[in-house]
Amino acid sequence: MTKATKTKLLSALAIAGLPVAFILGLWFAGESTDHVARDGRGAERAETAPSDEGATTWTCSMHPQVRMPEPGDCPICGMDLIPVTDLDDPADEADLPRLRVSERSVALMNIQTWPVERRVVEREVRLLGRVNYDERRKRTITAWIPGRLDRFFVHVEGGRVQEGDPVAEIYSPKLISAQEELLQALHTAHARDQENSPMVQAARDRLRLLGLNPRQIQEIEERGTVQDHIVIHSPLEGVITERIAVEGNYVQTGASIAALAALDWVFIDLEAYERDLPWLIEGQTVRFSIEGIAGEEIEGRIDQINPFLDERRRTAQVRVLVENPDGRLKPGMFARGVVESRMGTPDGIKQWRDEPPLVIPATAALITGRRAVVYVKIPEADQPTFELRQVTLGSRAGDRLIVMEGVHEGELVVSHGNFKLDSELQIRGRPSMMAPRVEEDPGEADRIDYRAPPEPAEFAAAVPASFGEELKPVVRGYLDWVSALAADDFEAAREGLVALHEALQKIGQHRLEGEAHVAWMEHYERLHVLTHRIEMAEDLEGMREHLQETTREIEEVIVSFGAGQLPDLYRMYCPMAHDDQGGIWFQDDDAVANPYFGPAMLACGEILGEL
């Protein structure tokens, strides 16, 4: 019987509530030694590990009923077994959960630590937006007098005009009357030899109030005849954005005739996700690429960050003022902006100008969506001891996370192997990341906003395309699972999970190099644990409890390990999931099919964008 066949059968037995541990003891009693010998990795670890420690039992973090005398893989799920020796501390009376293990266990679990440090962090914030008018340089051309609009000099929207160019011509009886008053006042003043009489000045002021400029008034005086039409001139250089009235309309005083905008300066309106706002300040330089101007980079400065957030999209508008002397930047053009932001320098983000922030590796934090924890090594302990700490996280900067509270500079946090430590605490029935104390309440401040997509890791560009190809069956299994949840099909949902899990096992943990290798091992373990937890669910609701967390794991894998080989997916959002906290999922088509509620609310949701 193949390992895959055994896995499926045992998963089914586990869901049925059968005594799996008893069956496993009988089934695998005669072949556990052979399994380890075939594996090779277990034999190698047994040879390199010290032999003068206490008796060691090997168990699985997901299936603690499995107990083996030698290292190897879990016979149920295939995960690496972890050691528990009689020298490992079974309990601890400290205020915070602690785990004391042997040196051998640390070596076999490949526990790696990293110091908490203060350092300058940099991040590229990428923004999308469009070119727009500068509202401060827009004008509405209005009628200063009542009359009939007889002529438009600019016949189409988008027509360019210079400052002082004629825009429209109005016939107005009131204008004729005002001109006659001026000419009569001038005639009387000449007769009395009073060039600047009060009557002349009053008549001129009346024409000025009707919209005539000094040059037009002077032309009337020099001509000595009444002008039956008034020409409305452009107040600035720009383009006509809208013709509001048409020729032949009768307009009243103050009626809008046309809208005009200057384009020598334009705004580029960008959307910044909520998680990006701490990295943005007014005055920062933004570099742009414009799709309509290929091969050229444009610079501007952030003029304004809107203090209001779009509650639906969870974004804020960032306005960048850009000079546009040649008019190449046209309203509506699509723009991509990049801000190189820093924390911990005098010219950086205000909060961190006095001293750099505390940072830890991104792999050190275990995040459930509502809380984040790290494991800190206790330096004064006579045996390797690790303490579980809840931390308040700030922004992410590449492969580093800013920590606001929970750790201190110089402390050692576990950057690799923390998931195994957490699993060991679970096995011992003590508080952990996946099983916190009942009274713990993370509060709103520690909730993750899943509507904003994750940033790709720094190593993402180095992930080979072949690895992205191998991930396709994993993503396909996820999509089939989501589709089955939307259809309320429990059996199909299990089949999708089995396909996801088998595809994950086929890839294995040891497929990459360097930082990508370490990060992939962490994601592999988390997906492994999550899929098994979901497989143990007795109904659809039990599966749906883990949909949000699994979706984020899949998304981070796609973003950082997909190497551009995975298909485009739609990021969907349901505001009513998780007691109105909201939830996301992915689909390969744009017809909303809600997996959180199934047919009962199938069309509830919206498209956030594409991944």
Residue ending a domain, choose from 351, 377, 403: 351
Asked whether residue 15 falls in the same domain as residue 155, the answer is: no
* C-alpha to C-alpha distance for 345 and 482, rounded to whole angstroms: 45
pLDDT value of residue 413: 94
pLDDT value of residue 38: 31
Q: Which residues of 458-481 are buried (b: 16+ CB within 10 A; e: fewer)?
A: bbbeebeeebbebbebbbbbbbbb
pLDDT value of residue 438: 42
Residue 127 lies in a domain: no
Asked whether residue 373 falls in the same domain as residue 301, the answer is: no
Asked whether residue 269 falls in the same domain as residue 249, the answer is: no
**Angle of CA points 27, 32, 36, to nearest 5°:** 150
**Residue 392 lies in domain:** 97-119+357-448
Which of the residues in the chain have pLDDT under 50? 1-53, 87-88, 90-93, 438-446
Residue 36 lies in a domain: yes
pTM of the model: 0.50
Asked whether residue 486 falls in the same domain as residue 592, the answer is: yes
Domain CATH for 381? 2.40.420.20
DSSP string, 519-572: HHHHHHHHHHHHHHHHHT-SSHHHHHTTHHHHHHHHHHHHHHH-TT-SPP-EEE
Asked whether residue 206 falls in the same domain as residue 302, the answer is: no
Total domains in the fold of the chain: 5
pLDDT value of residue 211: 73
Long-range contacts, stretch 534-539, CB < 8 angstroms, 24+ apart? 534/497, 535/11, 535/14, 535/15, 535/494, 535/497, 535/498, 535/501, 536/14, 536/15, 538/15, 539/490
pLDDT value of residue 530: 80
Asked whether residue 114 falls in the same domain as residue 150, the answer is: no
Asked whether residue 483 falls in the same domain as residue 596, the answer is: yes
Domain CATH for 285? 2.40.30.170
pLDDT value of residue 238: 79
Residue 128 lies in a domain: no
Residue ending a domain, choose from 240, 258, 276: 258
Asked whether residue 78 falls in the same domain as residue 105, the answer is: no
pLDDT value of residue 472: 92
Residue 454 lies in a domain: no
Exposure of 525 in the CB half-sphere (CA atoms within 13 A): 23
The helix/strand/coil state of 574 is strand
Asked whether residue 141 falls in the same domain as residue 175, the answer is: yes
Residue 126 lies in a domain: no
Residue 294 lies in a domain: yes
Residue 169 lies in a domain: yes
Q: How many residues does the chain have?
A: 611
Asked whether residue 473 falls in the same domain as residue 518, the answer is: yes
Asked whether residue 249 falls in the same domain as residue 326, the answer is: no
Dump pLDDT digits (tens) for 57-96: 777 765 666 778 788 887 766 677 777 655 445 444 455 6
pLDDT value of residue 407: 93
Domain CATH for 150? 2.40.50.100
| Residue pair 355/390 in contact by the 8 Å Cβ criterion | no
Asked whether residue 200 falls in the same domain as residue 228, the answer is: yes
Residue ending a domain, choose from 258, 275, 307: 258
Residue 78 lies in a domain: yes
